[in-house]
Structure 1
Amino acid sequence: MRLYTVEVNSNEYVAVENKDKKLVTLDSMGIKISDINELIKRFDKLRGEIDKNISIGRELENYRVLAPIPVPQQDIICLGVNYKEHIDETADVVDFTKKQDSVYFSKRVNRCNDPDGTIPVYDFVDSLDYEVELGVILKIDAFQISTEEAADYIFGYTIINDVSARNIQLKHQQWYRGKSLDGYTPMGPCIVTADEIGDAHNLSIECFVNDEKRQSSNTACMITTVEEAISELSQGMTLKAGTVIATGTPGGVGMGFNPPKFLQQGDIVKCCIEKIGELVSKVDKL
């Protein structure tokens, strides 16, 4: 199932893609929910009703696609340097070549960027970078679960561009502020439920800047798997339903080139993950 958040006449609705690849709001199917966060928590109970009534829902004509989770309930949890090629390309800046354990950090998100939205240019950022990542969303609270159990806790997957201000990262010697500026979390275009994705560790993952392919890999190259990350993070820390985890980026980020290829005003960034789609953003002034 492919789920969206859309705007119609200045109102936000949760929508689902029908068999004709048209979007139908849950509201028009008689299913009343406040937002996608409520659907995530109630999905197992509502899925049968959605499947039953999708044919009677009104197909949308005039609408705008928003980030599938416009306002996450908590900070997004991120895996750092989770692809070997990304470790290698950034070793001259921060050396993780000898790391043995997963690297985690969080990303403050007041509101996620919409598909076809804008990555803002700030005058104090001189090294704006892109990072295509597979995003994972949990459907139930997870606490001290095993790796083998983790798949049962996954709601679905989306695309995240972990936009980063490299000069801010280096200035503060940590990643939180440099990745948390407003507008630095493009997400979308939709959430694809876990059953439709199947094996999340066999998906092509790419990023293009102005049609130049910068990143090209496969999620099979992750060092820490989705299930391993969920299990490890849940040890002593409750991961609530709706938790979003960004699983790291492959090689090819702007800072990895010599000389670096950072984003400039007017650039178009396209992040692509197999079975999910494309997330497109334009770099521009607010």
Structure 2
Amino acid sequence: MSSFLRGTGVALATPFNADGTIDFEGVTALVDFCIEGGIDYLVVLGTTAESVTLSKEEKKELVAHIVSVNDKKLPLVLGIGGNNTKAILDEIAQTDLSNFAAVLSVVPMYNKPTQEGIYQHYFAINNASPIPVLLYNVPSRTGTNMTAETTLRLAELDKIVGIKEAVGDFTQVLSILKDRPKDFLVISGDDTLALPLVAAGGDGVISVIGQGFPEEFSKMIRLGLEGNTEEAFQILYQLLPVIDYAFEEGNPAGIKNILKVKGVCKDHVRLPLVAASSALEGKIENFIENL
């Protein structure tokens, strides 16, 4: 049912103009760049999209534009998350999900729920969503870790088809891989650990850097899934410096600068984020010239 989410997905950035409005030409260029580069699916309105700074109207316009440009070429996943469970259920009910293959929903941030609270939150989403749901665990942003035990408990629900795991603790990832139900997807939310996760039996990645280097990154994951880890790790070692650069001054400032240097779109971000420094841009330019 959810095998389309194996491989390389990318969490799309939202290109902006200098005045802060959405750069729809840049959105088109970015989507096309990912499609032509061999990316397997696109994630819309994730963290990298600066979705918390987008108005409801902007989100609607952005989603409609990406759906139009993609034109059913790749599966689409829609980010619908937050820390108000009722608001998420209302958003799911009010959103046309007909163009989307799954919903990606992050562990609630700031409230710091217990494991039972996290379970009940996702239980409600499972019952409300008409399409498959991917969990998203990213403690560095949410302040709360969803444990392997909670993930495995949620994996038994009918709409929960997998997890984007960005815990940074590989022991926790291995615990999920060891005991997951058949067909439950374990997807890396960490670009550096994506290939090790695949080598351990995982299903791929939802990547940030993948939209900057779609050919290289998707080839690496494909090789890993095919069991050709030696060649795959050669690509990872080649990309490691620029993965660090992408996050050195925060996401998506880094990836937007990479996309600017590559001529895909501009690198403007919205406050409270600021654009990458000229020093970081110099390192990125040097890396791309020598790749």
TM range (shorter): under 0.3
Q: Which structure shows the higher strand fraction?
A: 1
Q: Which structure shows the higher helix fraction?
A: 2
Higher relative contact order (CA closer than 8 Å, sequence separation 6+): 1
TM-score (norm 1): 0.22
TM-score (norm 2): 0.22
